Amino acid sequence: MTYINISTLQNWKNKKNKFAAITAYDFSFARLFENAGIPVILVGDSLGMTIQGHDSTIPVTVKNIEYHTKAVRKGAPNVFLISDLPFMSYYEISQALKNTSKIIQSGANMVKIEGGKNLVHIVKELSNHSILVCGHIGLTPQYINFLSGYKIQGKTEKGANKIIEEALSLEEAGIKMLVLECVPAILSKKITERLSIPVIGIGAGNHTDGQILVMQDLLGITEGKKLKFTKNFLLNNGSIQNAIKAYIHSVKQGIFPDKKHSF
């Protein structure tokens, strides 16, 4: 795979070329995903649930993210690698700079933070230090106690307008990418069209520039209730490699997510 950087992704946005992304947490799967053609990998704090067995992302630490970022980078040296800044690791500027430097030095190209206008000053400071930042709005798992559960966001006109305002504020502050989670497809379409930077969706319809799924969801190995926006690509494709290629193809062609997997 040719080395992927932020300019690559921005160029795809400009040309309306959709791209697929996936979470990964270790060397073996990262290598498999890169070899299959995945251009963007996220070392997500979802590892709190998928790897550590917690019921939320909140217990994940910076050291956890550092460890898994190093492993993923070794397996996938050419992908664009995003790593989450975990819960309460970036709410004060000096703390954000310290923790971000550790994660970037572990191999990430970009860090992802959850929140809206309250993070504008953090985004500006990180950007001033030439750190690539990805925003994350809509359903933000680190705020799960405040949100009272995993619920679709932006269903009302007031809620939708707030999310649009947050997206615009974060872009103005300096984010170079945005993740939209669990919002109505019509809202993600508006945001994707208004922002000049790449927008990645998860449970946000198929109008975004890219899509991301948690690898365990994509491979159908998540226990318990299946989320509406997930799809088991392994079910009819025979092997993990074929499942990933089917996912990439479906995203590029705008086939996934369809109406059944959207809000």
Q: Where are the alpha helices (DSSP H) in 76-156?
A: 93-105, 120-128, 144-147
Is the distance from CB of 232 to CB of 242 less than 8 angstroms?
Answer: no
Q: Is 181 a catalytic residue?
A: yes
Q: What is the CA radius of gyration of the chain?
A: 17
The residue annotated as part of the active site, out of 34, 66, 125, 181, is: 181
What are the strands, taking DSSP E only, across the chain? Answer: 19-23, 40-43, 80-84, 110-114, 133-138, 177-181, 199-202, 210-213
Is the distance from CB of 23 to CB of 214 less than 8 angstroms?
Answer: yes
Q: What residue has token string 């939320």? A: 56
Question: What distance lies between CA 173 and its chain's CA centroid?
Answer: 19
Q: Say what angle helices 93-105 and 62-75 make with each other, to 10 degrees.
A: 30
Give catalytic residues, as residue numbers.
181
